[in-house]
């Protein structure tokens, strides 16, 4: 049996994102990461897709998965993982989807340290609905929903994830495909909750934060940075002069949620049920 190759991930549907969208690079990095993981079968992986531009990724990669309701992809992913903890489970959503409608599920997943990997395609807008401000939009952002400028400050999602128990937290830039691919692989290999915030340009509705803006306003974490130091990670996130890229925080001491369940010690939950169930007696009660 051969490992997953690039041709096995291709669908017949061409991507429909706007020209220049960072999602193209993110899709490329994701495919490179999946190939690099050496999975023997796509059945070893389940991807749960959110709603929005990011959710359209479901059409452009051949995999096992489903489209969740808006903001509910993480809840579905946790269910998949607990049903079969041998699966690699990945969530792909946007900043509005996962930091807005689904933020409560994100925090719950961090608290449990559920072994899923969440990719947030963060373009600082609700772009599929043509450019309303999202939870990550800068204060003062003018959009269709805020014609005089947004009053709120951007949400501190990564810091919130760290203080609520996420085991692996990273930030990437879609324009650095190789680095992004490596971070996705690290996140998927980590046993626990992994959050990767992908800073992604939106050429149509966020012209301020274009590729040149990210090149000038991001930097790679150096070798002297210690991702196991929680305090250092939180302090670094408070500095918004430039966005740091790389693994911000990693905790290898806390076990994943499913490792703490005695019901899953010997077999995956899905393997504990009989292959065939006779419902005839139960049905008779309702006839």
Residue-level pLDDT at 2:
59
Structure-token pair, residue 186: 């690290």
Q: Is the pLDDT of residue 1 over 90?
A: no
CA dist., res. 193 & res. 173, Å (int): 20
Domain annotation covers residue 116? yes
CA dist., res. 55 & res. 13, Å (int): 14
Model confidence pLDDT, tens digit, residues 180-235: 999 999 999 999 999 999 999 999 999 999 999 999 999 999 999 999 999 999 99
CA dist., res. 28 & res. 179, Å (int): 12
Domain annotation covers residue 114? yes
Model confidence pLDDT, tens digit, residues 79-113: 999 999 999 999 999 999 999 999 999 999 999 99
Tell me which residue range forms the domain holding 108: 6-284
Domain annotation covers residue 1? no
CA dist., res. 224 & res. 206, Å (int): 34
Number of structural domains (the chain) is: 1
CATH number reported for the structural domain that contains residue 223 in this entry = 3.40.50.970
Model confidence pLDDT, tens digit, residues 228-264: 999 999 999 998 789 999 999 999 999 999 999 999 9
Domain annotation covers residue 59? yes
């Amino acid at each position: 049996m051969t490992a997953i190759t690039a041709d096995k991930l291709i669908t017949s549907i061409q991507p429909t994102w706007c020209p220049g969208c960072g999602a193209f690079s993110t899709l490329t990095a994701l495919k490179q990461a999946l190939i690099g993981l050496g999975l023997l079968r796509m059945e070893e992986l389940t991807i749960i897709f959110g709603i929005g531009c990011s959710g359209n990724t479901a059409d452009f990669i051949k995999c096992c998965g489903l489209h969740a309701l808006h903001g509910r992809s993480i809840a579905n992913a946790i269910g998949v993982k607990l049903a079969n903890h041998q699966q690699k489970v990945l969530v792909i959503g946007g900043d509005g989807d996962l930091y807005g409608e689904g933020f409560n599920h994100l925090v719950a997943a961090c608290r449990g340290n559920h072994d899923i990997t969440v990719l947030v395609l963060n373009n600082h807008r609700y772009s599929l609905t043509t450019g309303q401000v999202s939870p990550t939009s800068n204060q003062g952002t003018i959009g269709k929903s805020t014609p005089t400028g947004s009053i709120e400050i951007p949400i501190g999602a990564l810091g919130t994830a760290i203080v609520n128990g996420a085991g692996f937290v990273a930030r990437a830039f879609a324009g650095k495909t190789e680095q992004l691919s490596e971070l996705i692989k690290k996140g998927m290999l980590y046993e626990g909750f992994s959050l990767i915030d992908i800073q992604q340009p939106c050429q149509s509705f966020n012209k301020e934060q274009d590729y040149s803006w990210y090149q000038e306003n991001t930097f790679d974490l150096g070798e002297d940075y210690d991702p196991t130091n929680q305090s250092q990670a939180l302090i670094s996130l408070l500095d918004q002069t430039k966005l740091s890229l790389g693994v911000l925080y990693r905790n290898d001491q806390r076990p994943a949620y499913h490792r703490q369940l005695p019901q899953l010690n010997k077999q995956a939950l899905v393997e504990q049920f009989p292959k065939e169930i006779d419902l005839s007696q139960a049905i008779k009660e309702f006839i």
